[in-house]
Structure 1
Amino acid sequence: MGKQMTEMLKGTLEGIVLAIIAVQPAYGYDITARLRERGFTDIAEGTIYALLVRVEQRGLVDVEKVPSEKGPPRKVFTLNAKGHDELEEFWRTWSFLAERIEQLHEGEK
């Protein structure tokens, strides 16, 4: 992944992860796997786990510890009302920026 892509992802990864959790509750590795299925192949698990700590601390998700067959219980993250509000704000901001960037791109042609 190039430096520009890495920098852009830093600003949007939280919204992307919230969108994934909004579809279905998930634990850290599951979220990483879903990202990779969508082409985000270079995102490290550690990045996702750190992000999940932040969104939990900010009160955007509810966490339930679920027994695991392979070790300690997993923390399953579910988007709560505050998280849904944050995700809606992310999509509004994304739409605004995408429209303006597309206008700039079209202006170059």
Structure 2
Amino acid sequence: MSVSNQIMKGLLDGAILGLISQGETYGYEITKKLEAHKFPDISEGSIYPVLLRLSKKGYVNTRMVKSDSGGPKRKYYSISDTGKAELKVFKDKWIKLNDGMNSLIRGE
């Protein structure tokens, strides 16, 4: 796995938690929101393992909703209190890392 792929994998947890913190959502919608925020090459298949991991850690709550069109139930995700605390930690670390990288890139 390339360094850029490893970085992206690490950032997805925080990005997805951030999206879920904005309101209850489901997998396909998360993919579309990531695309709208210009995340490169994120497929629906790559976010479901992240959602499962976040759920197992207790960062997100899930609920199944019956489809209006008679299709399969859809799983909706909302952020838990533990997830909110984890998102704050992620944001704090991201700000420090981002500041450091920008400083390096600018040659400061």
Give the TM-score normalised by structure 1.
Answer: 0.89
- Where 1:71 maps in the other structure, the secondary structure is coil
Report SS of the residue matched to 1:78. Answer: strand
TM alignment of 1:54-69, pairs within 5 A: 54-68=53-67, 69=69
Q: Which runs of 5+ in 1 are unaligned?
A: none
- Write the distance in 2 (CA, Å) between the matches of 1:27 and 1:70: 17
Superposed CA RMSD = 1.5
| Matched residue, 1:96 | 96
- Is the counterpart of residue 42 in structure 1 residue 48 in structure 2? no
SS in 1 for 2:72: strand
Q: Distance in 1 between matches of 2:17 and 2:62?
A: 13
In 2, the alpha carbon distance for the partners of 1:72 and 1:88 equals 34
Q: How many residues align?
A: 106
Deviation at 1:70, TM superposition (A): 5.2
Residue in structure 2 matched with residue 19 of structure 1 by the alignment: 18
Aligned residue for 1:62, secondary structure, equals strand
Question: What letter matches 2:6 in structure 1?
Answer: E
Once the two structures are TM-superposed, the CA of residue 98 in structure 1 deviates from its matched residue by 0.6
Query: In the TM superposition, what whole-angstrom CA distance separates every residue of 1:28-69 from its partner, at most 9, and x where no partner exists?
Result: 111111111111251111111111111001100111111112
Change (3 A) 1:7 1:70: farther
Q: Which residue of 2 aligns with 1:74?
A: 74
Query: Where in structure 2 are there 5+ consecutive unaligned residues?
Result: none
**Equivalents in 2 of 1:104, 1:70: separation in Å?**
54
Q: Could you tell me the TM-score, scaled by structure 2's length?
A: 0.89
**Per the alignment, do residues 60 and 16 of structure 1 end up closer, same or farther by CA in structure 2, a change over 3 Å counting?**
same
